[in-house]
Structure 1
Amino acid sequence: MNELSDREKADIKKQIFKTKDWNENSLRLLAMAMPFFNIEDLKFIINTIFSKYYSMKDVLDVQQELVSAIAVNYLGLAYHEHDKDEKEIKLALSLLRQLSHEPKNCFAKIMEQYYTAQFDNDKKKAERIKQFFIENDMNYYVGE
């Protein structure tokens, strides 16, 4: 995705803004293209998706995986852009908390804990989780 031209990125963003039916393909595209957006542009889209998939228990596994990836990506963007708009942050964290405690959701559950600690300014907890990622060569996920 980094190799795309500005025009190609703009075309992808345009397609995403036009989306009315958030299905597997459109969710996957958004999950991959989120870095193309600024946080303000994403809020409307995020609210639409999070409203549709509010109860993760009723969502198919593949959609659950994609929506949780979008939630994690959104939290990362919000944190790094110092966005403190609690509505979308709380929605994203709530969706991740609803995920079952199955191994397939492990990453999303850990990231929910990490971003909860970050947004609550619990530096000690955030640092413990960050160290776990660093020790397991997954620095990328915690900005190292």
Structure 2
Amino acid sequence: MDKDWQDAALSEGRGSKMSEHRIFRMSFARLYPALVQKAERKARTQAEADRIICWLTGYTPESLHRQIERECDVETFFAEAPAMHPNAALIQGVVCGVRVETVEDPLMKKIRQLDKLIDELAKGKAMEKILRQ
């Protein structure tokens, strides 16, 4: 992952208010390549990363790339998501040392869920299992 993105996410719980996380204001266009690179480093594809992002958020591939072109921040990206997938609640486990299902802040939880799904992709998990089907 992008070093700034990791630093912003890892600062969670270090005394700063949840609403003030740097990652919330980071451009999704900056986060997106880090997610894709995480997948591609393990011989997975951008199309697979896009499928996961679309599954989680309800964006179509076209609307996902429009959001990237707009360079909206991460908070806006998730706020404007057409519909978080109802099975997002099934996303559990640890990513970057944080147990996803225990994250209290709703926005940070969505960010962690997305990172966990991309992490599962990078670890070679089958798409059907990643998408909780």
Alignment TM-score > 0.5, same fold: no
TM-score, normalised to structure 1, is 0.30
Q: Which has the higher helix share?
A: 1
Bigger relative contact order (CA 8 A; separation at least 6): 2
TM-score, normalised to structure 2, is 0.32
> Which structure: larger Rg?
1
